[in-house]
Structure 1
């Protein structure tokens, strides 16, 4: 493969870690936002959520997809028959849908901070953990 493939992979992992940092933290902010009762706190959480979503999570998601698809493109002759990669891509699509739902929920919290309970957000926060575990196992172990 191309000599710079490992550089692309390194940037893919870096961007994925940044994306996941936001994926784990934003719903935690939703917990605190839903628990807040005063407008000053609600405004503060709204600003934090917006900056995290727009400034870190979304660029990191785009970078993760860009570097990941670049690697797939470079190694398509090898990857096209690898079932683990197809499953991984499906899970990354699920994570992208989760990301987009976070954006939707963020907007809902602006108009109604008690849109969902803090208990809901605590459970919602756990969903991406399962995707992370599955993706890491697929990439490292390649069970298929």
Structure 2
């Protein structure tokens, strides 16, 4: 039965989930920082613009997207593992909402990357600096929710 297998592989699944989250968060923190420099210091159509677009695309597609998928796959496997989540408590609902928020932020970053690729960015470096605080807040909510189990 699948739940027996999930229980046997719980620590491996949990480890893979943590690894995926770390790589995803690294990208979630770094991509807006690239956007700050791209918006403030790079002229559209230059070689530097092309270089930033390449870095942003590779970060999103090569690291962040696979990490997002792995985070969700291993996270859902953990949720389905018997005895791990008590849905009568508040913490799994708070974590789920924060993870959905983080996923939405990831999508927002993907749209902003396309804006840069199309030479259509309208956001300032300051805007990207402020938006870079969103994943920090969500991460704090997720970590405290899971560890403290409100």
Q: TM-score, normalised by structure 2?
A: 0.89
Deviation at 1:32, TM superposition (A): 1.0
Q: Which runs of 5+ in 1 are unaligned?
A: none
User: Could you say which residue in structure 1 is the equivalent of 2:25?
Assistant: 20
Deviation at 1:87, TM superposition (A): 1.0
Q: Which runs of 4+ in 1 moved over 4 A?
A: none
Deviates more, 1:50-59 or 1:38-47: 38-47
Are the aligned partners of 1:34 and 1:113 in contact in 2 as well (CA < 8 Å)? Answer: no
User: Could you say which residue in structure 2 is the equivalent of 1:115?
Assistant: 122
Name the SS of the counterpart of 2:122 in structure 1: coil
Name the SS of the counterpart of 1:79 in structure 2: coil
Are the aligned partners of 2:32 and 2:129 in contact in 1 as well (CA < 8 Å)? Answer: yes
Are the aligned partners of 1:15 and 1:60 in contact in 2 as well (CA < 8 Å)? Answer: yes
Count of aligned positions: 143
Q: Which runs of 5+ in 2 are unaligned?
A: none
CA deviation profile, 1:10-43 (whole Å, cap 9, x unmatched): 1101100000000000000101111212611111
Q: Quick one: distance in 1 between partners of 2:80 and 2:73? A: 10
User: Could you say which residue in structure 2 is the equivalent of 1:37?
Assistant: 43
Q: Quick one: distance in 1 between partners of 2:114 and 2:32? A: 13
Deviates more, 1:75-84 or 1:20-29: 75-84
Q: Quick one: distance in 2 between partners of 1:95 and 1:77? A: 22
How does 1:1-144 map onto structure 2 within 5 Å? Answer: 2-35=7-40, 36-37=42-43, 39-75=46-82, 78-112=85-119, 114-143=121-150
CA deviation profile, 1:114-140 (whole Å, cap 9, x unmatched): 521111111111110000011110011
Cα RMSD of the aligned pairs, angstroms, is 1.6
Deviates more, 1:82-91 or 1:109-118: 109-118
